[in-house]
Structure 1
Amino acid sequence: MSQKEIVYLLSDSIGETAEFVVKAVAAQFIEKDFEIRQTSHVSSAADIEQIILKAKKDDSIVVYTFVIDELKDYLNKRAHEENIDAVDLLSPLMNVFIKKYNREPAHKPGLTRKLDEKYFQKVEAIEFAVKYDDARDTEGIAKADIVLIGVSRTSKTPLSMYLAYKGYKVANIPLVPEVPAPAELFELPKGKCIGLIIKPDSLNAIRKERLKKLGLQPHAAYAKLDRILEELDYAEKIMKRVGCPIINVSNKAIEETANDVMDILNMQKSVYSL
C-alpha cells in the first residue's frame, strides 16, 4: 500500500472552500492517496507555526484561504523560510476584483457563512408563513415576529409571504364575526400585532371580483356591503382590544404596505429599547 500524501488546509473561517478545491485537484491524481488535514478558524501566528512545523516534517503542501492579511503574510514568510510549498487560493481572484471594481475587500472571515445563514433564515420564514397562514395553527401567534389581523381580502397572505422573503416570521389571522378571535392574540406584547383595514367600497369591489373568478354570483352575502360593514366594525373592535397599530391597505401595493409594517416594527423597537 502506497504512503499517503498529506495536504494541510488552513482557514481563518470554516475552510470549506479550500477543502473543495483540494479534493477536486487531488481526484485527478488517481495513482496517489491523499490525506487532507484541515485546521479551521486560524487566528494567530501560533496556530500557523504548529502547521508549518508539521508540514516541514511531513514534506507536505500547505493550502490556505485567509482574508486577514497579517495571517497571510506570516504564513508566506514562514513557508518561504522552511522551503514549504504554500498555495493561497483567494488572493489571485481577490486581486482581480480589487483592480476591476476599484474596491477594497472587508478582510473579515466568515462572510460567506453569514450570507448562507441569511438564506436559510429566509427559507425558514417562508415555511413559517405557509404553516401559520390564515390561522391554520394558532400556536404560530406566540412564535411569530409579526401577527397580521384583518378581514378576508385585506392582503394578509401575500403580505405575509413578502415579509417572509425579507426574513420575518409572520402569522396571519382572519377576523370573522362568527369566529371568536384566538385568545393568544390578546396576550401578545405590544408591537407584534398589526391590523389591516380597507375602505368598504374597495373591499366590495375586490370580493365581487373574487367571486367572479370562482364562478360564483357577485351578489352573494360575502360581497354585500352590509356584510362588509359588519365585518369591518367587528375587526375594528378586535384591533382596539389588542391595541395594535392599524394600516389602511386601500389601493396600496403589497410592497408599500410591507414598508409600512417594517417602519412600524422599527419604530416600536426604538420605543421599547429606550
Structure 2
Amino acid sequence: MDKRIVYVVSDSVGETAELVVKAGLSQFMEEHAYELYRIPYVENTEVLRGTIYHAKQTGAFVGFTLVNPELRHFLIKEAQEKEVECVDIMGPMLETMQRTFRKQPKQQPGLIHQLDEDYFRRIEAIEFAVRFDDGRDPRGVTQADIVLIGVSRTSKTPLSQYLAHKQYKVANVPIAPEIDAPKDLFHIPSQKCIGLRISPEKLNGIRKERLKTLGLDNRASYANIDRIYDELAHFDKVMEQLNCPVIDVSHKAVEETANIILNMVNQPYWSIDQEKENL
C-alpha cells in the first residue's frame, strides 16, 4: 500500500504543527505508513497555492499554523476550492483568545522561539543529536544525557530528535553482529543507556516496507527473518552486558516511547531492575 502524504505548513518553524499532526496520525497508522513534509517560514500565497496543488495531486492532508490572517484565509479558501482536506491548528485558538482577552494578536510568527536560554539549549541538543546520530561518532556516548541503543529501524533517529526538542542531548548507537559496540558504552552509567527492543515480525514488516520505498528487493538479507533473529539475539546479549532498561517499541509511536523515556530520566532515584520489570 502506498504511503499517505501529509503536508505541515507554517509561517514559522512548523514544530508545533508537526507535533500535533503526528499525535493525530499515531491514532490511525504507524509512522512508516506515511510521509510528512514540513513547509516552514511561508511568506507568500504562491507557496500555499503550490502546496494545495501538490496535495490535490497526491490526495494529501494539510495541517497548518499560520498567524498571519491573510495567509490563513487564503490557504483555507484555496483548500476548499480544490477540495483538499485541510485543518487550521492555530486559527481557532487565536480567535477565541482574541474574543476572551479583547485584544488583537501580535501576528508575529515564531514568538515562542524567541532567542532565550531555553531556545539555545534546544538548538544545541538538536545539533548534538544530528552529530551523534546512528553511531557516526562514538565519542557522543560519553557526552550524551541519554544513549539510545537498538538494531536498525527501531526509531532511534526520530526519538533522538524528539528528545532533543525537550533539550536532552541524545546519542544513538546501532547494534549489529558485525559491528563492535563503542567501548565507552560499557563504561558510562547504565541508567544513561536505554535499549529499544522490537519483535522480529514487526521489524521484518518495517524493513520490507523500507526496501520497497527504496525500490529494492524485499527479499534482501536486510529483511530476512533469520538475519533479524540473529540481530535481535546479539542485541539481547549487549543489553545483558549493559544491564540497562529496555523498552519494547513494537507497537509504540515515537511520542509514546519518548514519554516513557522522559518519565524514567525525570525520576531522581529510579531503579534499573524496577524499570525492567515495568517495561
Q: Which letter maps to 2:256?
A: E
1:243-264 deviation line (CA, Å, top 9, x unaligned): 1100000121110000011111
In the alignment, what sits opposite 2:264?
264
In the alignment, what sits opposite 2:227?
227
Aligned to 1:134, the other structure's residue is in SS state helix
After the TM superposition, which parts of structure 1 deviate over 2 Å for at least 4 consecutive aligned residues?
Answer: 269-272
Is 1:209 the counterpart of 2:191? The answer is no
Q: Which letter maps to 2:245?
A: P
In the alignment, what sits opposite 2:251?
251
How large is the RMSD of aligned CA atoms in angstroms? 2.2
Q: Distance in 2 between matches of 1:183 and 1:210?
A: 30
Q: Write the mapping of 1:1-274 to structure 2, written as runs, cut at 5 A.
A: 116-267=116-267, 269-271=268-270
Identity of aligned residues (%): 58
| TM-score using structure 1 length | 0.57
Give structure 1 stretches of 5+ with no counterpart: 1-99, 102-111
| TM-score using structure 2 length | 0.56
- Residues 218 and 271 from structure 1, CA distance in 2 versus in 1: closer, same or farther, beyond 3 angstroms? closer
Q: Distance in 2 between matches of 1:255 and 1:271?
A: 21
Aligned to 1:152, the other structure's residue is in SS state coil
1:124-180 deviation line (CA, Å, top 9, x unaligned): 000000000001101110000000000000000000000001110000000010111
1:13-42 deviation line (CA, Å, top 9, x unaligned): xxxxxxxxxxxxxxxxxxxxxxxxxxxxxx
The structure number with the bigger radius of gyration is 1
Q: Distance in 2 between matches of 1:241 and 1:229?
A: 19
1:71-109 deviation line (CA, Å, top 9, x unaligned): xxxxxxxxxxxxxxxxxxxxxxxxxxxxx86xxxxxxxx
Question: Is the Cα contact below 8 Å between 2:194 and 2:245 reproduced in 1?
Answer: yes
Aligned to 1:264, the other structure's residue is in SS state helix
Q: Which letter maps to 1:208?
A: K
Q: Which letter maps to 2:180?
A: P
How many matched pairs? 164
Q: Distance in 2 between matches of 1:264 and 1:200?
A: 26
Question: Is the Cα contact below 8 Å between 2:264 and 2:270 reproduced in 1?
Answer: no
Q: Which letter maps to 1:154?
A: T
Quote how far apart the aligned CAs of 1:115 are: 7.3
Q: Distance in 2 between matches of 1:199 and 1:229?
A: 9
